[in-house]
Structure 1
Amino acid sequence: MVYRLTRAVERTVIAIGGAGLVALMLLFCADVVARYALHRPIDGVMEMTTTLFLPLVVFMGMALSVRVDGQVRLGVIADRLAPLAQRALRGLALLVGAVLWAAIAATVGTRAIESFQAGEVSTVSFGLPVFTGYAIVAAGSALMAVVSLLNIGQPPADTDPALDGV
């Protein structure tokens, strides 16, 4: 049950992140055409990029890296340990990571609420709500914390065939 639920969540957030990447690419292409061919750049491209699309792309696919052990790590010492010690060290790292990601989620989530209540917008000319970027980072961080906890005691998995190349 938990396995199927986490795989469904992974596929969903990867689809969201992928859609954000496609939208970012299309927005940049449209802006280049508008800027150089029509001499009228699209307002708010930088705000949409930094507030919405980059957080989507980065934070929505990040949790998958935990399950497949794709995070940056220093294996010089860990790879020389016995398998049981390696699993224990991985479990400890996942626990510490979960605590840190939960703290990030709580801090950024609080900032998202404050931004929403204050009605912050990115610029006067475009008016993209700033809280959206904070909310995306908070949600991605919370997901990272949960996935880290769920993977304690589990061996790193091979990538699902449906997720190859992601």
Structure 2
Amino acid sequence: MLVNRLTRWLERLVTTAGGAALVALMLLFCADVIARYFLKRPIDGVMEMTTTLLLPLVVFMGMALSVRGDGQVRLGVIVDRLPPGGQRAFRGVALLVAGLLWGAIALVVGTRALESFQAGEVSTVSFGLPVFVGYAIVATGSALMSVTCLINIGQPPAPADPTVDGV
């Protein structure tokens, strides 16, 4: 099915983006520590790059991946006691509500990203990282979360990963 292939491709893309951002975050912090304490010259803009670009990438690009396997926070104490039909219905309602809420977040933050872009907002005068980029990342991740929730309504959860089950 085209939707499944597109979803899997998108999952690989956001996983790669989030992973690359995590590696970049680690390298940037290490370089800044070395520059700050050994060379006595910290790297300008580390905080802006971290908070505006890298952390939103790490958090919001990987967030939707949890939906397919029911990896997000859930009320297992209650839901696990329901009969299978009740569990499916509860999951469907939860995904619908979550999809609508994440869609609303994507809309609000996307609008803020557009306003920031039009205003030419930058994080600092010295570094000048455009603020809209961070908003756009959050809006994109939220939209992806919304679509992922809505696509997964009526689908069974992916098999649990035994290495993280119960964590």
Moved over 4 A (4+): none
Q: Any residues of structure 2 matched to 1:9-88 within 5 Å, and which? A: 9-88=10-89
> What is the TM-score normalised by the length of structure 2?
0.94
1:116 aligns with 2:114: no
TM-fit CA distance, 1:159: 6.5
Q: Given residue 85 of structure 1, which amino acid in structure 2 is its aligned partner? A: G
Q: Corresponding residue for 2:148?
A: 147
TM-fit CA distance, 1:121: 0.4
Counterpart CA distance in 1 for 2:9 and 2:159 is: 16
Q: Cα deviation per residue 1:3-54 (whole Å; 9 max; x = unaligned)? A: 1110000000000000000110110000000000100000000000000000
Q: Given residue 63 of structure 1, which amino acid in structure 2 is its aligned partner? A: A
Counterpart CA distance in 2 for 1:90 and 1:159 is: 15
The number of aligned residues is 161
SS of corresponding position for 1:70: coil
Counterpart CA distance in 2 for 1:120 and 1:16 is: 24
Q: Corresponding residue for 2:127?
A: 126
Counterpart CA distance in 1 for 2:27 and 2:79 is: 43
Counterpart CA distance in 1 for 2:77 and 2:16 is: 34
Counterpart CA distance in 2 for 1:123 and 1:18 is: 26
Which structure 1 residue ranges, 5 or more long, are not aligned?
none
Which structure 2 residue ranges, 5 or more long, are not aligned?
none
Change over 3 Å in CA distance of 1:81–1:159 after alignment to 2: closer
Q: Corresponding residue for 1:8?
A: 9
Q: Cα deviation per residue 1:51-82 (whole Å; 9 max; x = unaligned)? A: 00000000000000000100011211111000
TM-fit CA distance, 1:137: 0.2
